[in-house]
Structure 1
Amino acid sequence: MPVPKNYRMLPQARRLRREMTPQERKLWYLFLKDYPVKIYRQRIIESFIVDFYCASAKLVIELDGQHHFTEQGKHYDAERSQILNSHGLRVIRFTNHDVDTKFSQVCDVIHHAISQTEAIPK
């Protein structure tokens, strides 16, 4: 069953796709874009725009910048993850620093998370 989508957020999602952060751009172009299963960038789920989404694996991938480490940011992320989890989605988070300094490990974690599902044909 598809996840709900607030279509009024489409212009903002399109803008975010055009204006990806350097870390989002790196992860997208060096790993996710050509991954064997479809991964979407800046996907709308409910009234949220997630950084990356693999529907077949029910996986949300979030890259967290500085504002995620404030008390308000942590609270918002926890609430948001809980809502996403209620739709049967798994949320994995990486810091921008992780993408900059541990890129291969980030890719390994994502690949492992997807390969644990039925998303990749055997």
Structure 2
Amino acid sequence: MPRPEVALARKLRRTMTLLEVMLWQHLRGSPDGMRFRRQHPIGCYVADFFCAKARLIVEVDGAIHGVEARPIRDTARDRYLNENGYRVMRIGAADILRDAEAVAASIVSLAAAPLHHSPAASGPPPRAGEE
């Protein structure tokens, strides 16, 4: 018996929304070497899309994300994910409807950008007084 979030992720993969399908068509196949997973469990949550290499989570926000207690839950979820080393990118439904290809390109671009810049080949800068 799989963990509850794994079972939920499998169910969500079978019942993706139109917006998620539109975006998935552009993210599948590892664009620019960035491999994305759809409906991926992370902790007690299920991310709409996830790039492990970049530790990037992409959430598709439809109209439901602006009603009742949903914004508070989304904020708590984002905080948990950020505290555990993930970047969260929220994409509005209207943006995907307007131009899914451009949205996917911006996601891949963010995934390809490193979180931290590598130090110069010569190593870190000298400490004060060691120049």
The TM-score with structure 2 as length reference comes to 0.79
Structure 2: 5+ residue stretches without partners: 116-131
Determine which of 61, 67, 71 is the counterpart of 1:70: 67
- Does residue 22 (structure 1) correspond to residue 13 (structure 2)? The answer is no
What SS does structure 1 have at the residue aligned with 2:47?
strand
- Does residue 107 (structure 1) correspond to residue 104 (structure 2)? The answer is yes
In 2, Cα distance between equivalents of 1:107 and 1:38: 12
Deviation at 1:105, TM superposition (A): 2.9
In 1, Cα distance between equivalents of 2:68 and 2:20: 23
In 2, Cα distance between equivalents of 1:116 and 1:37: 11
Structure 1: 5+ residue stretches without partners: 1-5
Deviation at 1:20, TM superposition (A): 0.3
The two structures, once aligned, show a CA RMSD in angstroms of 1.6
Structure with the greater alpha carbon radius of gyration: 2
What's the CA shift string for 1:29-57, capped at 9, x where partnerless? 2x111122221110111111110000110
Is the contact between residue 49 and residue 57 of structure 2 (CA under 8 Å) also seen in structure 1?
A: yes
Instruction: Please identify runs of 4+ aligned residues in structure 1 that moved more than 6 A.
Output: none
| 1:1-122 → structure 2 map (5 Å cutoff) | 7-29=3-25, 31-35=26-30, 36-117=33-114
In 2, Cα distance between equivalents of 1:77 and 1:53: 16
What SS does structure 2 have at the residue aligned with 1:53?
strand
What SS does structure 2 have at the residue aligned with 1:34?
coil
In 1, Cα distance between equivalents of 2:22 and 2:35: 17
Give the share of equivalent positions with the same residue, in percent.
Answer: 32
What SS does structure 2 have at the residue aligned with 1:102?
helix
